[in-house]
Structure 1
Amino acid sequence: MPEEMLPAETVALAEAPALDVTPGTVLVVDDEPRNLEVLTHILSAPGFHVVTAEDGEEALVKAHAEAPDVILLDVVMPQMDGFEVCRRLKADPATLYTPVALITALRGVRERTRGAEAGADEFISKPFDSVELLTRVKSLARIKRLYDQLRTTNHDLEQRVAERTAELQRALRELRELDRLKSEFIANVSHELRTPLLHVKGTVTLLADGALGALTPEQARGLQVAEEAAEQLERVVEDIIDFNEVHGRPLDLEPVPVSEVCQSAAQTLLPRAQRLSLTVRVSVPPELPPVRADAAALTRVLRHLLDNAIKFSPANGLVQVLAERRDDRIRISVKDQGAGIAPDEQERIFTLFYQSDGSTTRRAGGMGLGLALVRKLLAAHGARVHLDSSPGQGSTFYFELPIAAP
């Protein structure tokens, strides 16, 4: 049953001004043929393609088939009223964003509330003026058009993001593969260098000790130079191995005896220190509890700090390894009597490949990996390396680790 027949004056199209309405498709739903005819005339004049339906079921079918830009929906219809049709349209993803205007003679707050709850985007009251109708339809069509553009843009952006993400994932896989190959290459090269290097060192030591015959003073001095060069090359190989492992091996945290790890690291470098007329002294109170750390990584940290101290210490100098308790942590320090480090250089020495001795001869040798590795290894423990130094006063590198739980 119709709410109210559309008055004849609404068909006075000649009186309506020409509106700049972009053509689109409008689905008009009304159970009264006369109302459908009137609305079709009004909407066709500016170029809209009009599709009609005489009941709710037909409206739902045509909403899918025609994909209209706007739906004009009469409220009072038999079997399925406009509120229910609107509710179903808004519950369907295919028509969720299609603007729906309810056409009704009902002007009460209750009816409009029901329409809003059903998802209506607009209300057009009967009787209506053709200009008002076209203005509202034009506005709804513009909204739909903008939404479609936004949806297309979003789809394009999502596609581009997906493509870019896929590219980045491919690049990441390639980088990981390159990193794996790099690590494998470094490990193989280090092994190939280390084996003949051991033979070189062993032979030089035999010669230096006179096991292969007496040496002249000149030969002894030459062998000393060769031995020092072999040791320097060995340190480079060890640095490369450490650098490779620090990026690939997870930490194995466990209780580590402080005195034991300090003595072990110092013992490794003691022969070199003695040749340079240096004294290495480890001062660790025996009652200190163990720290929670990775034993191998902590040994590397101390070895690199000791190596650095030995490099820059003068002949007859003293290198100390100290440890003391600080509340629930243990502070470990490596102290030297070298030339010290200027304030503007103290941060840079921890960067990869940085050489404190920038001369072409590089008296101290090395690749500039040691202190950078110290920082990385300690960072993996949640610790930081600190430096107390000034020119002419030597340097003290120190860090703190937590005491292991009993």
Structure 2
Amino acid sequence: MGERVLTAVSRDPLTTPHRRRNDALAALGTAAVAAVLALVVRDGKTPDLLGWLLLGAGAVPLVWRRSRPVLVLGAVLASTAAYHAAGYTHAAPHPAMVLALYTVASTARPLTTLLIGAGVIGTTLAVKFLVGTAEGVESLRTSGWTLAVLVFGVDVRIYRRYIASVVGRAERAERTREEEAARRVAQERLRIARDLHDLLAHSITLIGVRTSVASHVLTADPDRLDRAAVAVALDEIAETCRTARQELRTTLQVLRDDAPTQQDGPLPGLDALPALVRAAGADLEIRPPTLGVASATGAAVYRIVQESLTNAVRHAGANTPVRVTVAAEDEGGALRLTVTDDGAPQHTAPGAGFGIAGMRERARSVGGTLSAGPRECGGFEVAAVLPLGTGEPAV
């Protein structure tokens, strides 16, 4: 019961469900209490038809007390003043007056409540003292109830505003958590797409090139079939498939890991570069840094080289010279990576794919930068500068 009362009190009076129905029931209950007081209490004459009409006129406006609290209070005051002036039972109109005052105090601004309270109490005291000193003193004694009702209404208003602020903060925190979760999901989807693109695009491109070589050998001169060349091409296709399967298994294992860790030291990404470059038929020059490299940086180097080789083989041709250089800069604690080829820069066409965008995202993810474009002397170049340690994402 206590929780229900607090819940009802803490609700915004203008958004409470069924408020008009509840206010109508409150007005009916107030009228019933006023009728009982008019018949039981003997501090004035029993109401006649006019007295009952005035009591009803003080209760009916309470149906709209939440939407128009000040106007309702004015209507109640007018009917109450007329009722008292006629000399009817003075206690009867008090319930309607108390409810109207409480509504104003709990919904209006504190300054409005203060002015209305001072006006009601001051007017009542002035009228009572004009009637007689005894009546004025009695009114002064009972005005404490009016102050109590106003203070209680103001307390309720403050409590409602406090609850609203708490609920608002909770809702904002919940929205922030939901937005953060959505952002993390989007980042994870982007990472998965980038990993799968880097892995599958490179392997499929190499398999396509080796298959073309084997097909050419088989059809170029059937009478003098070079079985050794076909065997080499098929072995390279099988090796590429094994490598792709192993990398796919590693990628899926990382995706399944709930708490991946990054450690400094010798990196599989850098160690695997010679085999990757050799399989693509490119030249490699690598001068590894003397200090440890963050695993994320090593993985980024590997994937950028992989995608660059894939683009070179796909767009510039299988026999185009490709050079890969990985070296540590003397100052700044950075790793510089360049991949150049002498082929035609076909992979710069708009909408050609997601490779260059994925490489830039990988470089930014470890706090580095990447540029890609045609060379002045012909061909294409991918250049990246990556931090040796774990870096923050670049803006």
TM-score (norm 2): 0.44
Greater strand proportion: 1
TM-score (norm 1): 0.43
Greater helix proportion: 2
